[in-house]
Amino acid sequence: MWLAGGRRRGGWLGVRSAAAGKGDYRWWVHLGLIVSAALSLVFEPVLAIHIGLGLLFAALVAVHLGQRRRVSANLVARLLPSPSLSGRADRMAVADLLLFTVAVGMLGSGLWDWIGGHPTRVRWHAITGVVLAGLLVIHSVRRRARLVRSQVR
């Protein structure tokens, strides 16, 4: 039942009151990831803002992975014996590993460009940024129902 101010009985957006704080926190991390990624693309010409938003995004990725530590550990364990794409969990594990790899590649190439004072001849940061943006859109759309109601365990 909806109450005033968009609240729902039992917590914000249907999260049970016992876990409302953790659920809210998880939603804010999701929102921060989406907003920091989008704004980082918008402010790409303004280097200081772009760098700040990129570092914020990287920090939020670390927080997000920390919140999902059990799920991430289980997904990594599924990949170790013999990775296959037959099951849904196996595909999720590969997708999460790909997202993580591209995010680390984008962070590393951005730092390399920043330390060097200029972009490299092959624009790795731009290429990984476009790839990551596409993967994040797919990732968010496929998990849109869980973005709000997921909980930290």
> In this model, does residue 94 exceed pLDDT 80?
no
Percent of the chain with pLDDT over 90: 7
> What is the average pLDDT across 99-120?
85
User: Whole domain around residue 99: which residue ranges?
Assistant: 4-149
State the pLDDT at residue 2: 41
pLDDT in tens, 121-149: 778 888 888 898 888 888 888 777 666 56
What band does 53 get if pLDDT is binned at 50, 70 and 90?
very high
- CB 43 within 8 Å of CB 49: yes
> What is the average pLDDT across 58-86?
75
> In this model, does residue 98 exceed pLDDT 60?
yes
> What is the average pLDDT across 58-83?
76
DSSP assignment string, 28-64: HHHHHHHHHHHHHHHTTTSHHHHHHHHHHHHHHHHHH
Structure tokens at 65: 């992975």
One-letter amino acid of 24: D
Count Cα atoms within 13 angstroms, Cβ side, for 108: 7
Higher pLDDT, 83 or 33: 33
State the pLDDT at residue 15: 42
> What is the average pLDDT across 51-68?
87
Q: What angle do CA 30, 36, 37 make, to 5 degrees?
A: 90
Residue recorded with tokens 């060097």: 116
Indicate the average pLDDT of the chain.
75
CA distances from 54 to 106, 109, 111, 131 (A): 9, 12, 10, 15
| Cβ within 8 Å of residue 14, ≥6 positions away | 8, 148, 149
> What is the average pLDDT across 63-77?
76
Total structural domains within the chain: 1
State the pLDDT at residue 3: 41
